[in-house]
Structure 1
Amino acid sequence: MQLTTTQFGARLPEWVADELAGVAAALPDAEDRMRLAHRLARRNHREGTGGPFAAVVSNAATGEILAAGVNLVLASGLSTMHAEVVALSLAQAGAGTWDLGGAGRPPAELAVNWRPCAMCYGAVLWSGITRLVIAGEGDEVEHLTGFDEGPMRPDWKEQLAARGVEVRTDVLRDEALATFREYGQRDDVIVYNGGGRGRSPAHVLQIQ
């Protein structure tokens, strides 16, 4: 037997570099790091490269930006290329290690414009970050966009805390909801849940 496919990968769209060009190398405030995630999330769906999600990895002590990622499922054709996975993978590639919390490394933070889905929850657990900052949690993202976030356990924050990951939530929550609402109201909205699971765009609810 000979495998026909032996590698895979994804690349950030060129517009991401343009978006980051005027951003300071370090953003000391969590709100500023979240604003960057919101900007990337909005532009990602407007550019048609993926869903309305973005993530930023930074030095938790100084705010130095280590990596930024956007959802690349549509651009890459890979279901695992969620914004958190992309950002964490880029940060790990840049650091040359799978463990962002390894010995001698500064504490790392992941800022995301909503609570991670079931898959990205696992990615956060194994990444080595010490802080997760999210715009919000709850099922609003599913109602507004139609995406299926998967079977998250109710004590997910406690589980992260038990593994040394601090969780901060409700950072610029309204901006996240505005982006999800904009996506859900598009005439050409694409909901790429595997096997057709999740709400169809026709049944997206309008949450105020």
Structure 2
Amino acid sequence: MSAIRERRERERAHRHQMIITAARELAEAEGWEAVTTRRLAERVEYSQPVLYSHFNGRDAIVGAVALDGFGELALHLRRARQAVARPGEALRAVCGAYLEFATERPALYQAMFILPTDLTFAGAETPVPLRACFDEFVSCFRPDNERRELLAEVIWSALHGIVVLSDGGRIPPAGQEERIDCLVTQFANTP
């Protein structure tokens, strides 16, 4: 590969990441309604056709932001799981870290779970960062537990419900610790 071609590929990768970062920053500041290709083009100082050479529309940009978010979430969950001294505390730590992530990054969480994307969950095409998040939940259960993936799905689903209901004002955010206690009590020692 020539040096010129390598430089062009680095520049393209940089521009790609710059668009993702700009979309995320704009969404965090003004909400996802403000994220349009026109606004992004202005923000990154490239034309709309340049954006379209990287992404096939707004949904693809949201998907790229979401994928970055899953990488961040996987790392956040892993750190929480590994920071506890006893394996029995891992599920509580991961649940708490999940709710913390969603609360601290609402626009990113919205891209990951609420807005339309082409990301595939629980399938052969599931992206590695998404699978890594799921595996952090699975790792909270004993390896000999044949239902550990099912339990991980149920826990993740319950946490997502807590996030959405809390964010929508349907349940008070003050009860998060009690909700985590309930989940952990119900699932921590499930065979």
Query: TM-score, with normalisation over the residues of structure 2?
Result: 0.30
Q: Which has the higher contact order (CA 8 A, sep 6+)?
A: 2
Select the structure that is richer in strand. 1
**Structure with bigger gyration radius:** 2
Q: Structure 1-normalised TM-score?
A: 0.28
**Going by fraction, where is helix more abundant, 1 or 2?**
2
